[in-house]
């Protein structure tokens, strides 16, 4: 399996505080670069941390296309259609001894979902979707990466997620630019 990148605590934090465990528990997750009819990109955020991340989450089955469709319905309240896989990132997170394989897809919105399908935790945390044009998305993602690099992100998993999601979005733009040239 070829990965866009492999991330560890040493790649995310200046001074990692958690030792590398002997064994990691594997988890597959899915993320999406969501494009709506206006060409804007869907990111999820909440008032708890205020960062913008790609929608997605833990895969409950091996059908990753269906998993990202479910996650988008849940997190951004849209029915989506999978366009293509962008790539995969491998992560080793020492804090809870987790090994993640995250698969990112490009999806396009089809229609808004009639129901709010967020989990209770997502509702309690105020998770909501924000639609950004390409330039604004790039600016926000770059600022967030700088905060991680400056150790200004107080949430362990969020720091990983910021770096990973920024790499996925960059890979999407790279593929898009290649097609357009």
pLDDT confidence band for 179 (50 / 70 / 90):
low
Domain that holds residue 55: 5-180
Q: What is the CATH number of the domain that holds 169?
A: 3.90.79.10
Say whether pLDDT at 178 is over 90: no
Say whether pLDDT at 181 is over 70: no
Kindly report the average pLDDT of the chain as a whole number. 95
Residues contacting residue 44 through CB under 8 Å, at least 6 positions apart: 52, 53, 54, 55, 75, 76, 127, 128, 129, 130
The total domain count for the chain is 1
More confident residue, 48 or 53: 53
Query: What is the rounded CA–CA span in Å between residue 127 and residue 50?
Result: 10
pLDDT of residue 1: 63
One-letter-per-residue 3-state SS of 57-109: EECCCCCHHHHHHHHHHHHCCEEEEEEEEEEEEEEEECCCCEEEEEEEEEEEE
Q: Is beta strand 98-112 parallel, antiparallel or unpaired with respect to 25-35?
A: parallel
pLDDT confidence band for 109 (50 / 70 / 90):
very high
Query: What is the average per-residue pLDDT within 81-105?
Result: 97
């Amino acid at each position: 399996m070829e990965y866009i990148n492999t991330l560890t605590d040493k790649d995310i934090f200046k001074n990692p505080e958690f030792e590398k465990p002997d064994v990691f528990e594997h988890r597959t997750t899915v993320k999406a670069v969501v494009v709506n009819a206006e060409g804007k990109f869907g990111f999820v955020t909440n008032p708890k941390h205020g960062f913008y991340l790609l929608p997605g989450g833990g895969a409950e089955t091996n059908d990753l296309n269906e998993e990202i469709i479910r996650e988008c319905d849940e997190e951004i309240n849209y029915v989506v259609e999978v366009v293509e896989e962008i790539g995969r990132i491998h992560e080793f997170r020492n804090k809870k001894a987790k090994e993640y394989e995250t698969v990112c897809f490009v999806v396009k919105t089809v229609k808004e979902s009639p129901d709010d399908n967020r989990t209770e935790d997502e509702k309690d945390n105020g998770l909501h979707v924000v639609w950004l044009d390409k330039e604004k998305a790039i600016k926000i993602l770059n600022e967030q990466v700088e905060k991680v690099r400056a150790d200004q992100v107080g949430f362990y998993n969020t720091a990983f997620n910021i770096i990973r999601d920024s790499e996925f979005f960059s890979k999407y733009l790279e593929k898009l630019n290649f097609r357009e040239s």
